[in-house]
């Protein structure tokens, strides 16, 4: 965070909390001062499912050897009973406690080590001590344990008792102070345990989980199929969660779950369509807000899972065509079978929970010839600090930065103060003329001169023209255009360049720039990964820059 005056800090804090729901503030205060203790519980036994758990998986095992793991590109060992080793990153420790490895690809071959690890976790982690008892960590682990226990028909009383103890702990610290995908994960975990454990405790968990899910599914999945946090990565994760819930309803034979099947199928169908539009031609997610590869399922794997669940889907695309995902705010231009643009005219996220938002309003990504060409920078880690701040900044995205400021005030790792709101969104399609898409945002209204960034994309005959205009006065402004690491640059003339994309060429021209820099930067395609790439930085000469891309 930059050095700020006291007034600026107060204003930032005010702009951050004023959008919160009263229950978020109340629960945060309540949880902060409450002393929660959980006594070990006894399981009443297992419910009789019609079938044992079986599903696809979208991740490989992180287990290198016994007690040696590779999480997010960071290799380390579990030493003794220290599951909360402060020398390791917080996110690495969280992944250790999630137990995703139980259901990873080829996990059957590691059953004995997995069982030892589960039993070791129970012994080493007494109730409410350490990262493993935080509600989000509990949620992911409980689902993984239920899947694993059902698939392998494990009925060890030690593990089942721990499962119930953990579920009680989760039920007493549901994340009403965070809401969004965290509360969804809490509810999913309660449903899984509630369906798996028989008796009164199972009925309680199932009823509680479904009551939350009914509300959250309706709120979090918008009419266009997208998840309301506007992150393609989290959309894919939540869509996988919906598939898991449908899978559970189909195999468990529980009436309370079966009544949800038709509604959940509708959500999944819409979500698949949204995911297909927001994925690049390589089948992986686009990089808007917190999004990167290797964390969520690809489109191909999601399609395989839904096919196994009996959901038919057919995505017929006309070329060229434009799709406005109006509820989320993204626009997708399918230029040709191997060319696609994804444009961000969206809110940064739900006002009360923009934790995964970036200052990326009016950014875009472009694939040509099946290859990513213009890319947003992505993310490589969640640690609070300068790198996280940079990856969320306006300057890390294909959009315009004014006076060196962010369009939305992203700070503190997962916080947003003032935020940009898009307006005047227009989509004009004309036969034989092409398509024009335009919009503006008010994210710089706090600056002297109250500048407004307006952007127009025009597509016609293998050409994209991006026109950036600024209304109002400003000291400086820059337009950023990041290239995929595989793209090579050759300068042709002043402000004219040739890009090498596979064995094809793309011509790029900047009009209205005072200076066009080519900066050495980095692309962050997955956690723990940083790959050198290049970025064009166009400095505004006056109030307009035109960028022409021909291929």
96 and 43 fall within a common domain: yes
403 and 545 fall within a common domain: yes
Q: Is residue 322 part of a domain?
A: no
Report the pLDDT value the prediction gives residue 283, as an integer from 0 to 100.
95
492 and 525 fall within a common domain: yes
Residues 225, 329: Cα–Cα separation, whole Å: 12
| Sheet of strand 74-77, all strands in order from the earlier edge strand to the far edge | 63-65, 68-71, 74-77
Q: Is residue 516 part of a domain?
A: yes
Could you tell me which residues come within 8 angstroms of residue 468 by beta carbon, excluding any fewer than 6 positions away?
A: 400, 453, 454, 455, 479, 540, 544, 545, 546, 547
Question: How do residues 441-479 score in pLDDT, each as one tens digit?
Answer: 999 999 999 999 999 999 999 999 999 999 999 999 999
Q: Is residue 185 part of a domain?
A: yes
Would you put residue 265 in left (φ > 0), alpha (ψ -120 to 50) or beta?
A: alpha
Tell me the average pLDDT across 506-532. Answer: 97
Asked whether the beta carbons of 539 and 513 are under 8 A apart, the reply is yes
The conformation of residue 482, written as its DSSP 8-state character, comes to E
Residues 66, 339: Cα–Cα separation, whole Å: 45
Residues 538, 477: Cα–Cα separation, whole Å: 8
83 and 30 fall within a common domain: no
Question: How do residues 36-55 score in pLDDT, each as one tens digit?
Answer: 999 999 999 999 999 999 99
pLDDT tier, 73 (very low <50, low <70, confident <90, very high otherwise):
confident
Q: Is residue 321 part of a domain?
A: no
Q: Is residue 2 over pLDDT 60?
A: no
- Return the CATH number at 465: 2.70.98.70
60 and 112 fall within a common domain: yes
Q: Please, what is the average pLDDT of the chain?
A: 96
Q: Which two tokens stand for residue 515?
A: 């200076």
Q: Which two tokens stand for residue 198?
A: 């028989």
Question: How do residues 396-439 score in pLDDT, each as one tens digit?
Answer: 999 999 999 999 999 999 999 999 999 999 999 876 679 999 99
309 and 229 fall within a common domain: yes
Q: Is residue 5 over pLDDT 90?
A: no
Would you put residue 154 in left (φ > 0), alpha (ψ -120 to 50) or beta?
A: beta
411 and 531 fall within a common domain: yes
279 and 373 fall within a common domain: no
373 and 458 fall within a common domain: yes
Residues 488, 223: Cα–Cα separation, whole Å: 40
Own/partner long-range contacts of 499-504 (Cβ < 8 Å, ≥24 apart): 499/373, 501/368, 501/369, 501/371, 501/373, 501/551, 502/369, 502/371, 504/368, 504/369, 504/551
Give phi and psi for 125, each to the nearest 5: -125, 80
Task: List the domain range (segments joined by +) for residue 258.
Answer: 221-316
Q: Is residue 47 part of a domain?
A: yes
Q: Is residue 276 part of a domain?
A: yes
Best CA proximity match to 222, nearest among 371, 324, 137: 324
Asked whether the beta carbons of 244 and 217 are under 8 A apart, the reply is no
Best CA proximity match to 300, nearest among 316, 288, 282, 287: 282
Decide which of 284, 316, 348 is a domain's last residue. Answer: 316
Give phi and psi for 332, each to the nearest 5: -115, 125
Could you tell me which residues come within 8 angstroms of residue 86 by beta carbon, excluding any fewer than 6 positions away?
A: none
Q: Quote the number of domains for the chain.
A: 4
pLDDT tier, 180 (very low <50, low <70, confident <90, very high otherwise):
very high
3-state SS string over 82-134?
Answer: CCCCCCCCHHHHHHHHHCHHHHCECHHHHHHHHHHHHHHHHHHCCCCCCHHHC
Decide which of 220, 248, 270 is a domain's last residue. Answer: 220
131 and 199 fall within a common domain: yes
Q: Is residue 10 part of a domain?
A: yes
Residues 462, 245: Cα–Cα separation, whole Å: 43
Q: Which two tokens stand for residue 116?
A: 């030892």
The number of helices, as runs of H, and strands, as runs of E, in the chain is 13, 22
Asked whether the beta carbons of 468 and 479 are under 8 A apart, the reply is yes
Question: How do residues 219-244 score in pLDDT, each as one tens digit?
Answer: 999 999 999 999 999 999 999 999 99
pLDDT tier, 1 (very low <50, low <70, confident <90, very high otherwise):
very low
Report the pLDDT value the prediction gives residue 429, as an integer from 0 to 100.
86
Decide which of 220, 244, 267 is a domain's last residue. Answer: 220
284 and 378 fall within a common domain: no
4 and 78 fall within a common domain: no
Q: Is residue 117 part of a domain?
A: yes
């Amino acid at each position: 965070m930059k050095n700020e005056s006291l007034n600026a800090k107060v204003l930032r804090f005010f702009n951050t909390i004023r959008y919160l729901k009263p229950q978020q503030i109340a629960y945060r205060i309540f949880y902060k001062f409450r002393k929660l203790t959980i006594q070990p519980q006894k399981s009443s036994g297992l419910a009789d499912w019609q079938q044992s758990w079986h599903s696809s998986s979208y991740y490989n095992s992180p287990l290198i050897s016994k007690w040696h793991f590779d999480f997010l590109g960071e290799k380390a060992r579990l030493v003794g009973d220290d599951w909360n080793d402060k020398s390791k990153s917080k996110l690495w420790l969280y992944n250790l406690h999630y137990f995703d490895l139980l259901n990873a690809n080829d996990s059957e071959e590691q059953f004995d080590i997995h069982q030892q690890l589960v039993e070791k976790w129970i012994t080493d982690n007494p109730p409410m001590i350490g990262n493993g008892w935080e509600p989000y960590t509990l949620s992911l682990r409980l689902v993984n344990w239920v899947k694993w226990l059902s698939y392998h028909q494990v009925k060890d009383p030690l593990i089942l008792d721990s499962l119930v103890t953990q579920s009680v702990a989760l039920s007493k610290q549901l994340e009403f102070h965070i809401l969004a995908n965290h509360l969804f994960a809490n509810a999913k975990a309660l449903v899984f345990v509630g369906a798996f454990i028989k008796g009164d405790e199972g009925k309680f968990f199932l009823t509680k989980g479904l009551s939350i899910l009914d509300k959250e599914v309706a709120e979090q999945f918008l009419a266009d199929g997208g998840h309301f946090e506007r992150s393609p990565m989290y959309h894919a994760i939540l869509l996988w969660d919906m598939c898991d819930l449908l899978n559970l309803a189909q195999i468990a034979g529980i009436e309370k779950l079966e009544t949800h099947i038709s509604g959940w199928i509708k959500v999944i169908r819409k979500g698949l369509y949204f995911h297909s539009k927001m994925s690049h031609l390589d089948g992986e997610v686009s990089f808007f807000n917190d999004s990167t590869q290797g964390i969520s399922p690809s489109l191909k794997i999601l399609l395989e899972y839904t096919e196994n669940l009996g959901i038919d889907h057919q995505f017929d695309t006309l070329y060229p065509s434009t799709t406005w995902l109006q509820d989320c705010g993204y626009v997708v231009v399918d230029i040709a079978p191997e060319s696609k643009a994804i444009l961000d005219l969206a809110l940064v996220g739900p006002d009360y929970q923009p934790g995964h938002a970036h200052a990326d309003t009016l950014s875009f990504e472009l694939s040509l010839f099946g290859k990513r060409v213009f890319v947003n920078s992505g993310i490589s880690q969640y640690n609070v600090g300068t790198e996280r701040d940079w990856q969320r900044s306006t300057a890390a995205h294909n959009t315009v930065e004014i006076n060196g400021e962010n369009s939305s005030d992203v700070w503190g790792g997962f916080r947003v103060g003032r935020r940009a709101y898009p307006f005047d969104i227009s989509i004009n399609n004309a036969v034989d003329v092409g398509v024009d898409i335009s919009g503006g945002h008010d994210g710089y209204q706090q600056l002297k001169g109250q500048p407004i960034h307006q952007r127009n994309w025009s597509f016609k005959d293998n050409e994209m023209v991006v026109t950036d205009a600024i209304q109002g006065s400003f000291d400086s402004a820059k337009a950023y255009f990041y290239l995929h690491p595989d793209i090579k640059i050759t300068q042709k003339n002043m402000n004219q360049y040739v890009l090498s994309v596979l064995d094809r060429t793309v011509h790029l021209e900047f009009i209205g720039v005072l200076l066009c820099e080519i900066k050495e930067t980095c692309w962050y395609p997955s956690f723990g990964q940083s790959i050198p790439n290049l970025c064009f930085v166009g400095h505004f000469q006056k109030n307009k820059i035109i960028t022409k891309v021909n291929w």
